[in-house]
Amino acid sequence: MNQRLETSSATGGAATEHISFELSGMTCAACATRIEKTLNKTPGVAEASVNLAMETARVVYRPSEVTPGEMQQRVEKIGYKATPQQEAKGGEDHRVTEIRKQKQRLWISAVLSLPLLWAMVGHFSWTTWIWVPAIFMNPWMQLVLAAPVQFYVGRHFYVSAYKALRSKSANMDVLVSLGTSAAFFYSVYVTLDWWFRGERHHSPELYFETSAVLITLVILGKLLEAQAKGRSSEAIKRLMGLQAQTARVVRDGVEIQIPVYEVLVGDLLNIRPGEKIPTDGVVVEGHSSVDESLLTGESFPLEKGVGDRLIGATINKNGMLSMRATQVGQGTILAQIVKVVEDAQGSKAPIQRIADVISGIFVPIVVGLALVTFVLWYAWFGQGDFAGALEKAIAVLVIACPCALGLATPTSIMAGSGRAAELGILFKGGEQLESAHHIDVVMLDKTGTVTEGKPSLTDVFTTTLDEAEFLRLVGGAERNSEHPLAEAIVHGVKDRGISLPQAEQFEAIPGYGVKAMIEGKSILVGTQRLMKMNEIAGQEDAWLEVVADLEGQAKTVMLVAIDGVFAGWVAVADSVKATSKAAIARLQAMGIRVMMMTGDNQRTADAVGRQVGVADVLAQVLPEDKAAHVKKQQDQGLRVAMVGDGINDAPALATADIGMAMGTGTDVAMEAAGVTLMSGDLHHVANTILMSRKTMGNIKQNLFWALGYNLLGIPIAALGLLAPWVAGAAMALSSVSVVLNALRLQRVKLK
């Protein structure tokens, strides 16, 4: 089953598991609301969320109190079917099965309803010129045609309505059953009355065509809706289709071709030019350029050599590569992307609460309005015209179906999050997709976000030691640090052909530098604050002026002390990303304030800020203080997006209203963030906000039209200005129009 172990603070720290069910039998938002309420009331369920468009339920539960089987029984008891997703994937897609059944019902219903519709058209005074076979006008013939539609094709409406009423609730099927049954059984009564009265010289006024055509139109609407909903999840299918199908594996010295799902961690794989990389791994031999644009959005192929990381489903362009598989199956980046998109599409945005509340009470209100309409027309406006009053009441029942309202939000979330994933933006859920459009301030980490994050050693100065010996000790002190600046120093020292000693003791001091013991010598490498903390002597003003000049050139300078005495410095430069300045200007043009945070000193930070057009620069910020700076902006009533890529950014990413982690960064940062940007290009930050704005605009359009449709349609139907079959057509088309409007998001083009 699709489960994972979690710890839920909401349950007092008790162990919980997560499971996803595929649901069948839902017809409208009221169905989704009822299933959700049933699951949430089940003892042992911590949280349940039902998505109408995806036809799924996501449940967090305590296995010590309830089992998946018991949850399935609860759902089935109220008239629906729940299947754990992993089991459902073993058989035919339930949506495909449902579409096939809907097509069969539609054909039967359409063939039987067409003669009734033909006879109805012949009743109008302005259509007397249309020839209608006499047999179609015969009440008994109409009964024979309508009965199979009512009780065979429409059987599932009765079954669903019965189960809903039995559980003391109501759904769309209650409305359809009431409306069509009223028309059908009234027509049966009129037919029998006509027969026993012996009035064979004229045909009575019947409504068999109303019930049959209504059922046909409802089925047509559900068929179109199901097909459209299938299109809204195509993003996942396209992502899964990126994966290579086979792999060339070297086993026992022989290259063999096997299905990609048989690749094991540690396998040696050969990738020829033009082939897809089968799974995640590292290059062990060869050199080539790799096109990662489909997953990361990087527009140019990236050069790959020994030791570089490869991502499954990307394309090897022009060289032979040998790689060692490090992740396979569900552990690959592509599989994780698909999982994130599935989770986002199955989640709810907070705005959906509006539709959920309305849908939960809508059906009983509509039934009441239909009864009021019938009474007013029968007792007042129609003065005893039972048939006319019934017709108006049926129109109210049918026009008011809340299907469009229930689909308004989830279809937009599905389409928007799916399109965002194709553009290299992964939203964790509907909440993040909604929140991003409110952002007032974007706070950027400098290293690896604004800059390339691949600094290089540029300047070296030593007071007393030989430069090679000085670098040997500095490199030895930094070799155990994972900071990008430390890596730059180590690489720079190695590139000069200097071997590095092993430190006997090592301590990383976040925000300050490192402390190590090498060959009996105490080594400090870091900021001026680190030197002051340790009361380092020997720093001359002239040297510090040179340091200030280097920092003004956007170079990061790290001071070095050996055995408590100042011994020199090393300078590292990190180039600004080519797209950072334009991307920041784009954010500012969108009305968003941009700030930059860094642990660097003020002069270096200001120099980088000038290069990219950021005036609000926070320097010498310790990792633990980044979250405090985010909170400070939030305390001013501003909604903040934090963008970073390192472990030290994780607290700030989690504190921000929206955390955006660069996919080129660490797993910890991506776990803490609500949005993962697959590319290191800052344009993706603006694209994230724009995608959120477009999705929220689409949701509001859907809600406006769905609510407006009901608020306008019900009075029109109550006033007798809509025939029931016209109301049925409008109801069916309203749901389809909402889904089609949401699908426009799949064509969104961003920079």
pLDDT-wise least confident of 59-73, 349-363, 591-605, 671-685: 349-363
What local confidence, expressed as pLDDT, does residue 232 receive?
54
- What pLDDT band is residue 347 in, cutting at 50, 70 and 90? low
Among 619, 638, 656, the domain-final residue is 656
Lowest mean pLDDT among 14-23, 349-358, 365-374, 424-433: 349-358
Indicate the pLDDT class of residue 476, thresholds 50, 70 and 90: very high
pLDDT > 70: percent of the chain: 83
Do 626 and 613 share a structural domain?
A: yes
Sequence-ordered alpha helix ranges (H) in 377-402: 386-399
- The 10s digit of each residue's pLDDT in 610-643 is 989 999 999 888 777 888 899 999 999 999 999 9
Look up the CATH number of the domain holding residue 498: 3.40.1110.10
Report yes or no on 124 lying in a domain. Answer: no
| 735 is a domain residue | no
Angle, in degrees to the nearest 10, between helices 724-743 and 386-399: 10
Residues 560 and 621 in one domain: no
Q: What is the pLDDT of residues 676-690, one digit of tens each?
A: 888 788 999 999 999
Structure confidence at residue 725 (pLDDT): 67
Question: What confidence score (pLDDT) does residue 90 get?
Answer: 44
Residue 548 and residue 465 in one domain = yes
Tell me what the mean pLDDT of segment 513-520 comes to.
Answer: 92
Partners of 310 in the β-ladder: 281
3-state secondary structure of 614: coil
Please state, for a pLDDT cut of 90, what percent of the chain lies above it.
21
Mean pLDDT value of segment 22-35: 79
The pLDDT of residue 508: 86
What is the CB-side half-sphere exposure of residue 465 using CA atoms within 13 A?
20
Provide the pLDDT for residue 3: 39
Same domain, 464 and 566: yes
Q: Which tens digits make up the pLDDT trace of 294-306?
A: 665 555 677 888 8
Tokens 């969320």 found at: 49
- Please give the average per-residue pLDDT across 161-185, as a whole number: 77
- What is the distance between the alpha carbons of residues 471 and 569, in angstroms, rounded to a whole number? 10
Instruction: Residue 30: give the domain boundaries.
Output: 17-89
In a domain, 202, yes or no: no
Band the pLDDT of 605: cuts 50, 70, 90.
confident
Query: 267, 280, 291, 445: which one is catalytic?
Result: 445
Q: How far is CA 517 from the centre of its chain?
A: 49
If you write DSSP's letter for every residue of 496-534 in order, what string do you get? TTPPPPPPSEEEEETTTEEEEEETTEEEEEE-HHHHHHT
Of 312, 333, 354, the one marking the end of a domain is 333
**CATH code assigned at 251:** 2.70.150.10
pLDDT band at 121 (very low <50, low <70, confident <90, very high): low
pLDDT in tens, 221-244: 777 766 666 665 555 566 666 778
Highest mean pLDDT among 487-496, 598-607, 661-670: 487-496
**362 pLDDT higher than 50:** yes
Q: Which of 300, 317, 333 is the endpoint of a domain?
A: 333
Residue 703 lies in a domain: no
Residues 571, 584, single domain; the answer is no
As beta bridge partners, residue 140 has none
Long-range contacts of 118-127 (CB under 8 A, 24+ apart): 119/209, 120/209, 120/213, 120/725
Q: What is the mean pLDDT of residues 262-272?
A: 91
Task: Note whether 588 and 633 are same-domain residues.
Answer: yes
446, 466: one domain: no
568 and 634 fall within a common domain: no
Residues 304 and 274 in one domain: yes
Average pLDDT (137-157) is: 90
Query: Does the active-site annotation cover 173?
Result: no
Same domain, 569 and 582: no
Q: What's the pLDDT at 683? A: 92
Least confident of 158-172, 175-189, 451-465: 158-172
Q: Quick check: is 255 in a domain?
A: yes
Q: How many CB atoms lie within 10 A of CB 618?
A: 19
CA–CA distance, 523 with 563 (Å, rounded to integer): 7
CATH of the domain at 600: 3.40.50.1000
pLDDT at position 440: 95
pLDDT of residue 664: 58
pLDDT band at 87 (very low <50, low <70, confident <90, very high): low
Q: In the chain, how many domains are there?
A: 4
Residue whose entry in the numeric block shows the structure tokens 């921000």: 656
- Distance between CA atoms of 47 and 53, rounded to whole angstroms? 19
Q: Is the dihedral of CA 736, 742, 746, 751 positive or negative?
A: positive
**Residue 567 sits in the same domain as residue 615:** no
Whether residue 406 lies inside any domain: the answer is no
**pLDDT at residue 5 in the model:** 35
* pLDDT on residue 538: 73
Is position 298 within any domain?
Answer: yes
- Residue range 728-741, pLDDT digits in tens: 667 767 777 887 88
pLDDT at 340: 67
pLDDT band, very low/low/confident/very high, at 283 (cuts 50, 70, 90): very high
- pLDDT given for residue 364 in this prediction: 81
- Pick from 21-25, 88-92, 334-338, 347-351 the range whose average pLDDT is largest: 21-25
Helix axes 403-422, 333-346, angle to 10 degrees: 160
pLDDT confidence tier of residue 322, bands split at 50, 70 and 90:
very high
pLDDT averaged over every residue in the chain: 81
- Is residue 464 assigned to a domain? yes
Q: Give the CATH number, domain containing residue 66.
A: 3.30.70.100
Same domain, 569 and 646: no
